[in-house]
Structure 1
């Protein structure tokens, strides 16, 4: 869970970039830009760590941002990242991206379902989960964020907002164990 301090820093930046995106009719492009930025940060530990190091010079960070993202993102998005360097908030870039994507989902009435599965989901399974989450939330669309954890043994854990549905075998075994221990006492 994110600290409230970082959230209080992140949310105003995400809201500001969303406001600019809406006023300039760039919501879709900024959404794509943020997804690309987050993917780059996820794929490169070196980039993420360099931007997070407080001892690295701001000019060096700006140069790296220009080289990595200069031709990849809208000029306003590039300037936004450079401003984050000036304000010494660039280490929160990924968190700002997460918050922006949350605002984008709200705007588009899309629910995010975080799925943890023992194995990769087939397209049919993913579609079934999407339909169940749509029915549960009333959302027009559902975005799945799937992670695979074999230690679940089988089944899935579905998290939508604060609701969690644990349909994993590990969860079922844990509940069974708790019932058995409770009945013995």
Structure 2
């Protein structure tokens, strides 16, 4: 139920932000600023809880958001964030930001590749993954979202949309085990 309510709120706000961004040719700039904000929210559970707390004053939430986005952010984006606070929708900001980034990827013909690896990938490995995903999908460019899972032992798992490429050592061992059991 929560995801239904969330999507009914998240999508229209993300669409509205994208509409403003496209009208003023600011889609990529907003994308950079929204990406930084989403990253800050993902990195701080305290910040997310602060913004979601209904007992904290609107002025305090606005002051914290102003400090986070700073004066360098575009006034349209700052006003959008203040509107979310005023409407009591700021608790959805992370979802709205992620939906906006998905719309931006669609606009720019970019795909999101979620990469899980046993260790941190270096720049050459990241570029190799991007090239492989570009070849598979035919996308103009690729955004990588990397996470580390030491249980993989080695290799990577790449998820693009509903397609999963399991090139991990754990996956290979699992496939061998299935063959041996059959």
Output the TM-score relative to the length of structure 1: 0.90
**Paired position in structure 1 for 2:131:** 131
- 2:59 aligns to what SS in structure 1? helix
**Paired position in structure 2 for 1:168:** 168
Instruction: Name which of structure 1's ranges 70-79 and 39-48 shifts more when overlaid on structure 2.
Output: 39-48
Q: Is the 8 A contact 1:14 1:97 kept in 2?
A: yes
- 2:166 aligns to what SS in structure 1? strand
**Paired position in structure 2 for 1:116:** 116
Instruction: Name which of structure 1's ranges 46-55 and 99-108 shifts more when overlaid on structure 2.
Output: 46-55
- 1:55 aligns to what SS in structure 2? coil
Q: How many angstroms does 1:177 deviate by?
A: 2.3
1-side partners of 2:45 and 2:22: how far apart? Answer: 32
Output the TM-score relative to the length of structure 2: 0.91
Instruction: Name which of structure 1's ranges 117-126 and 156-165 shifts more when overlaid on structure 2.
Output: 117-126
Q: Is the 8 A contact 1:111 1:143 kept in 2?
A: yes
- 2:121 aligns to what SS in structure 1? coil
**Paired position in structure 2 for 1:107:** 107
Q: How many angstroms does 1:70 deviate by?
A: 4.1
2-side partners of 1:119 and 1:164: how far apart? Answer: 19
Q: How many angstroms does 1:30 deviate by?
A: 0.9
Instruction: Name which of structure 1's ranges 107-116 and 55-64 shifts more when overlaid on structure 2.
Output: 55-64
2-side partners of 1:39 and 1:119: how far apart? Answer: 21
1-side partners of 2:130 and 2:91: how far apart? Answer: 33
1-side partners of 2:124 and 2:66: how far apart? Answer: 41
Q: How many angstroms does 1:43 deviate by?
A: 3.3
2-side partners of 1:8 and 1:170: how far apart? Answer: 38
Deviation track 1:94-125 (CA, whole Å, cap 9, x = no partner) reads: 11111111111111111111100011222222
Instruction: Name which of structure 1's ranges 130-139 and 27-36 shifts more when overlaid on structure 2.
Output: 27-36
Which residues of structure 1 form unaligned runs of 5+?
none
**Paired position in structure 1 for 2:93:** 93
**Superposition RMSD on alpha carbons, in Å?**
1.7
Q: How many angstroms does 1:81 deviate by?
A: 0.7
Superposed, which structure 2 residues align to 1:38-57 within 5 Å?
38-57=38-57
Which residues of structure 2 form unaligned runs of 5+?
none
Q: How many angstroms does 1:40 deviate by?
A: 2.3
